[in-house]
């Protein structure tokens, strides 16, 4: 098990005395959460929920949910998924023992969930009792030319509210159960991805609040929680003043914000960006170190406009830049409350946050 010891532990404790920003982690398995805590993470800044759905035992219910022709079909599939999703969050809340946990509702490019090829369609057809031809027709209807610019994030939550409802129920049921058992009450922060407009967040926040009230009534207890949003589209940064009316926190998703601001695909950039960097056209790889002059302006604008509406708006960053020292210095200067980095980058983030606070 990795652990910080000796001089390194000493250096870290020195850094912790000087830094202002909190350091959280991006993690979605109990093992990663545990490791990140050993590295000093003070909470989870981004728990992505997509991977939970790819689990071998769940993927057929997930596909059933996506390809069902009506709400009843989707609800039947979601009922199968709820217990395992609740167990996912239960385990994470336990490991994090009362530290903040930001759970992001589902944000997959939809095509990753669709069956591929005749064999997978046949298998799914067998498993859920819907003809393979019907399933294929439905998959064709959902096909997208540009899935990363398509039916993902909160758009999915608007089209299929039952999915976010199931996830919110799993979060609040697990949080209540852990609070009951341990006394370390979790404070879930429910995060909505890919928001562009205030209306999207208003609709989905109402849905989360409704489920929270239902679960609290069923469990005979209440818990503190927050609903907030990713800021990962230029429009969201521009309209942050309005969006902050519906959000208690913002987390800057600088992976997507870099992709959408530069118009460069985050998945293909590595192939053609290196000559750009070698020739100095870009001073650094913008997916590694925040493009401070460009994308950074949107982050600063989002932070300022959000806080103008809601002075105590909690602000963080959960893109890859949250573990990059130069980007962390920018986050300090912008007044963010925390950075969130992958577990192995937590120590570096603690150091960089201290250096930025002293500099």
253 makes contact with Mg ion (CB under 5 A): yes
The only residue of 162, 189, 256, 320 in contact with Mg ion, by rule CB under 5 A: 256
Element spanning 286, H or E: none
48 makes contact with ligand PEP (CB under 6 A): yes
46 makes contact with ligand PEP (CB under 6 A): yes
Q: How far is the CB of 161 from ligand PEP (least distance, A)?
A: 21
Q: Which of residues 320-349 bind Mg ion (CB under 5 A)?
A: none
Shorter beta-carbon distance to Mg ion: residue 228 or 253: 253
Quickly count: other Cβ atoms within 10 Å of residue 12's Cβ: 18
Q: How far is the CB of 109 from ligand PEP (least distance, A)?
A: 10
336 makes contact with ligand PEP (CB under 6 A): no
Task: Evaluate whether 230 touches 191 at the Cβ level (below 8 Å).
Answer: yes
Please name the residue that has the structure tokens 């990795």. Answer: 2
Cβ-closest residue to Mg ion? 256
254 makes contact with ligand PEP (CB under 6 A): yes
Q: Which of residues 217-236 bind Mg ion (CB under 5 A)?
A: 232
Q: What are phi and psi of 314, to 5 degrees?
A: -80, 135
Q: Write each residue from 208 to 237 as x if it is in contact with ligand PEP (CB under 6 A), else as -, in one continuous string.
A: ------------------------x-----
Q: How far is the CB of 160 from Mg ion (least distance, A)?
A: 19
Q: Which residues contact 164 (CB under 8 A, 6 or more apart)?
A: 105, 106, 157, 204, 207, 208
Return the one option of Mg ion, ligand PEP, none that residue 318 interacts with (CB less than 5 to 8 A, by type). ligand PEP
The only residue of 100, 286, 319, 323 in contact with ligand PEP, by rule CB under 6 A: 319
- Site size for ligand PEP (CB under 6 A): 9
253 makes contact with ligand PEP (CB under 6 A): yes
Return the one option of Mg ion, ligand PEP, none that residue 254 interacts with (CB less than 5 to 8 A, by type). ligand PEP
Quickly count: other Cβ atoms within 10 Å of residue 188's Cβ: 26
Q: Which of residues 255-314 bind ligand PEP (CB under 6 A)?
A: 255-256
- Token reading at 350: 């603690």
Distance CA 152, CA 314 (A): 25
Report DSSP letters for 212-227, one per residue: HHHHHHHHT-----EE
H runs (alpha helix) in the chain:
6-18, 30-38, 59-67, 71-96, 117-128, 132-142, 154-159, 161-182, 198-219, 234-238, 240-243, 254-262, 269-278, 295-309, 325-334, 346-358
* Residue ranges that bind ligand PEP, judged by CB under 6 A: 46, 48, 232, 253-256, 318-319
């Amino acid at each position: 098990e990795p652990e910080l010891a000796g001089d390194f532990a000493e250096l870290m404790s020195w850094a912790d005395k000087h830094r202002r920003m909190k350091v959280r982690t991006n993690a979605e398995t109990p093992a990663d959460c545990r490791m990140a805590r050993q590295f000093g993470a003070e909470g989870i800044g981004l728990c992505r929920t997509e991977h939970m759905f790819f689990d071998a035992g769940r993927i057929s219910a997930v596909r059933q949910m996506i390809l069902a022709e009506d709400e009843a079909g989707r609800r039947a599939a979601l009922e199968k998924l709820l217990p395992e999703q609740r167990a996912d969050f239960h385990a994470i809340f336990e490991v994090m023992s009362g530290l903040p946990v930001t759970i992001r509702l589902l944000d997959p490019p939809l095509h990753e969930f669709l069956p591929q090829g005749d064999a997978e369609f046949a298998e799914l057809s067998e498993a859920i009792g819907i003809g393979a031809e019907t399933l294929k027709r439905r998959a064709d209807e959902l096909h997208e030319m540009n899935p990363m610019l398509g039916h993902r994030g909160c758009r999915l939550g608007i089209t299929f509210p039952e999915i976010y409802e199931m996830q919110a129920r799993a979060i609040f049921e697990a949080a209540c159960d852990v609070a009951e058992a341990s006394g370390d009450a979790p404070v879930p922060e429910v995060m909505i991805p890919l928001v562009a407009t205030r209306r999207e967040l208003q609709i989905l926040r109402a849905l989360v609040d409704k489920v929270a009230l239902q679960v609290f009534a069923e469990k005979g207890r209440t818990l503190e929680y927050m609903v907030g949003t990713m800021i990962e589209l230029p429009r969201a940064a521009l309209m942050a003043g309005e969006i902050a009316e519906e959000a208690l926190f913002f987390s800057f998703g600088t992976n997507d914000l870099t992709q959408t601001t530069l118009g460069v695909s985050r998945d293909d950039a590595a192939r053609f960006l290196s000559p750009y960097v070698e020739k100095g056209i870009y001073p650094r790889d913008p997916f590694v170190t925040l493009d401070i002059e460009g994308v950074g302006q949107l982050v600063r604008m989002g932070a300022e406009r959000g806080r103008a509406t809601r002075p105590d708006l909690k602000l963080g960053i959960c893109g890859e830049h949250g573990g990059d020292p130069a980007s962390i210095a920018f986050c300090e200067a912008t007044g963010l409350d925390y950075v969130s980095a992958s577990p192995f980058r937590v120590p570096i983030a603690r150091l960089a946050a201290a250096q930025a606070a002293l500099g």
